[in-house]
Amino acid sequence: MKSPLKYDNTIQSTDRRRFMLTTAAGTAAMLLPFRLPWADELPTRTTLVVVRGGTPEMRFETALKALGGMAQFRPSGKNVVVKPNIGWDRTPEQGADTDPELVAAVVKSFVSAGALVGVFDNTCNTAQRCYANSGIEAAAKQAGAEVSFMRKQLFDELELPDGILLKSWPIYRDYHKADLRINLPILKHHGLAEVTGGLKNLMGIMGGERSEIHRSFDKKLIDVVTPILPELTVIDARRMLMRNGPQGGNLEDVKTINTLIAGFDPVAVDAEGARIFGAVPADLGYLVEAQRRGLGEIERPAGYQEINLT
C-alpha cells in the first residue's frame, strides 16, 4: 500500500527538534514544533478543556473552538496524522478502541480545512480485523482520511538524545515527519499503566519489540515519546473501559459518560483523564516522570475550562 503522506526531507529532520513555549512567569506551557500566533497570550487562553454531553462531533467542535479554533494550526496543504487507538479487535461498544464517530469528526474537521489526513495504528491484534471491527477504517475513510496499514519498511530508527534508558527507537515515518499530529486515544483501564490516555497511545507509532518498553515502563515510555509529542491531544471518554484493559471485551466493564478532554499539554490532558477515570495523577509513574522531564504539568493549568452541552 502506498504511503499516504509526502514529505520534503530537506526541511524536516528525523529527530524533529522542538522548542518550549513559556508563559511570562517562565513555566512550561506547551510543546509545539511551530509557534502559534497567540503564544504570548497563553496565560489568558484556554489550553485544556473538558466537554460533557452532546454528540462526539459536537464535543470535538466545542473543544476546538474553546482552544482557539482551527486557524491557529494553519492546516491547509499540510500532512496531518490523526492517531486513534485501533489496537484491538473489538467493537466500539466494548470501549477498547477510539470511538469511530469521534475519529470521523476530527478527520472531517481537518479535511474541511484543506489538510491531507492520514490515519493508522500499530495494532496488537490482526490489523485488518482491528481496523474493520472497531469501525474506524470505514468512518475515517468516509470522512476523507487516507487509512493505511503500517509497513515495517516505514519505521525509522529515531535517536533519543534525552533518553535515560533508551537512546534510539523505531518510529513510524508517516507520524514523525508529519506537519501536524493529533493524538486521539480512548480513556481506559490498563493493567500496567493503570490508566491509559495520550502518552501510552503513542506506543501505536512505535516499532521494534514494544514489550521491552514494559520493563521500566515509566522511564522508557517517556524516553521514546519526548521527541514525538503531538501538537494536540484529544481523549475520547465517551465510553470508559473501567476494568480488564487494555483489551476488554465485557460490556459490563464499560461505563458511558459522553465526555471529551482536549489540550496542548499532553501531560495535563492525561492527568485530567486520570481524574475523570477516578485515579490520582500523581500516583501514575509515567505522568510523574513526564513532568519531571519538563514535558508538561500534572496540575490543572490556569487555562482550564469545563463545558457542559445541553
pLDDT at 264 over 60: yes
The helix (H) or strand (E) run that includes residue 72 is: none
Q: What is the pLDDT of residues 220-229, one digit of tens each?
A: 999 999 999 9
In angstroms, rounded to a whole number, what is the distance separating the alpha carbons of residues 295 and 279?
A: 20
The helix (H) or strand (E) run that includes residue 255 is: strand 254-263
Helix, strand, or coil (residue 159): strand
pLDDT at 9 over 60: no
In contact, 69 and 112? CB cutoff 8 Å: no
In angstroms, rounded to a whole number, what is the distance separating the alpha carbons of residues 131 and 136?
A: 6
**Residue 245's pLDDT band (boundaries 50, 70, 90)?**
confident
pLDDT at 307 over 60: yes
pLDDT at residue 192, rounded to an integer: 87
In angstroms, rounded to a whole number, what is the distance separating the alpha carbons of residues 62 and 68?
A: 10
100 alpha carbon, distance to own chain's centre? 15
Domains of the chain by range and CATH? 55-308 (3.40.50.11440)
**Of 40-54, 102-116, 179-193, 283-297, where does mean pLDDT reach its minimum?**
40-54
pLDDT at residue 82, rounded to an integer: 98
Find, among 135, 214, 122, 203, the residue nearest to 169 by Cα.
Answer: 203
The mean pLDDT of 13-26, rounded to a whole number, is: 31
Q: What is the pLDDT of residues 161-218, one digit of tens each?
A: 999 999 999 999 999 999 999 999 999 999 888 899 999 999 999 999 999 999 999 9
The helix (H) or strand (E) run that includes residue 168 is: strand 168-172
The mean pLDDT of 43-54, rounded to a whole number, is: 89
In contact, 288 and 193? CB cutoff 8 Å: no
pLDDT at residue 39, rounded to an integer: 53
